Structure 1
Amino acid sequence: MEKEFYFKHDKTTITISDEMLKIKRKGLSKKITHGLSGEKEININNITSVQVKKPTIFTKGYIQLAYTGSPETKNGILAAGLDENSVLFVHKDQEKIDEIKSYINSIIYRKKDNSSTNNLSVADEIKKLKELLDQDVLTQDEFDAKKTELLEL
């Protein structure tokens, strides 16, 4: 899946694929504040959080992406405008921002679920298998085979 979101007011495009999030900025002011290429790629699996500040009548909003090792801007809209991991947006773009945030958060939560599942100890796994054996869901042979596999005997 690849989806592109264009923010006309800020001349910025966010493209999301299964592996990468790309931020591409156009315009001279963007080249000055965000480097000559105006592009940023972030591995989507490395994103740890998404912060959204909604726009008001007087100010733009912003979406900020954080990942391990990235600086986090904490000085509001002015700092976000210079931050390479943030994109400014206006009120009419709120729906796009919500979709981006939702998609990234689903990846973050899925990652957390997988890591907590993988962190079960061998003893916990054997205990679960024993419960299944006691409930006659597993046979003794199935239980023994899986236990041996878990204990790497």
Structure 2
Amino acid sequence: MSKEYVFKASSRVLVILDGNNLEIQRKGFLRRDFTLPDRKIDINNITSVKYRKADAFNYGYLYFKVKTDEIGIWSGDTGEERKETTIWFGKKEQKIAEEIKNYVESKIGV
């Protein structure tokens, strides 16, 4: 059973949780991060989740540190990779961001 979450505050992002997969799809032509590709992540390869709450003046974020299958390197070590695995959200979207964070952490055993 898959579950979909839509974030609209920072830029339009669709997050799909499907068993052990997390998919981040970035939507819209006029978004500020139009160069970022969509990303499908095996949750078993996520090693940690960073979370910052949104407040009245700043967006919050969910950042997933991912161990890739290729030569044992960590995605998230460069600025470009980090953005691919980061979801920015507004204060009104905090509840769904926390739901995703809790789901991923329960799967990786944090």
TM-score (structure 1 length as normaliser): 0.59
The 3-state SS of whatever aligns with 2:56 is coil
5+ long unaligned stretches in structure 2: 68-73
- After the TM superposition, which segments of 4 or more aligned residues of structure 1 sit over 3 Å from their partners? none
Which amino acid is 1:89 matched to? Answer: F
CA distance in 2, matches of 1:70, 1:21: 15
Give the number of aligned pairs. 100
Structure 2 residue 49 is the aligned partner of structure 1 residue 66: no
The 3-state SS of whatever aligns with 2:84 is coil
CA distance in 2, matches of 1:72, 1:26: 24
Structure 2 residue 34 is the aligned partner of structure 1 residue 31: yes
CA RMSD of aligned residues (A): 2.0
Q: Larger relative CO (CA 8 A, sep 6+): 1 or 2? A: 2
Question: CA, structure 1 residues 93+67, in 2 after alignment: closer, same or farther (shift >3 Å)?
Answer: same
CA deviations 1:107-145 (Å, max 9, x no partner) are 111xx8xxxxxxxxxxxxxxxxxxxxxxxxxxxxxxxxx
The 3-state SS of whatever aligns with 2:33 is helix
In the other structure, the counterpart of 1:18 is 19
Query: Going by fraction, where is helix more abundant, 1 or 2?
Result: 1
CA deviations 1:50-99 (Å, max 9, x no partner) are 111111211111100011121247xxxxx69x711101000011110111
**Same amino acid, percent of matched pairs:** 34
5+ long unaligned stretches in structure 1: 74-78, 113-153
Query: Going by fraction, where is strand more abundant, 1 or 2?
Result: 2
Max radius of gyration: which structure? 1
Which amino acid is 1:85 matched to? Answer: T
CA distance in 1, matches of 2:101, 2:52: 12
CA distance in 1, matches of 2:76, 2:99: 24
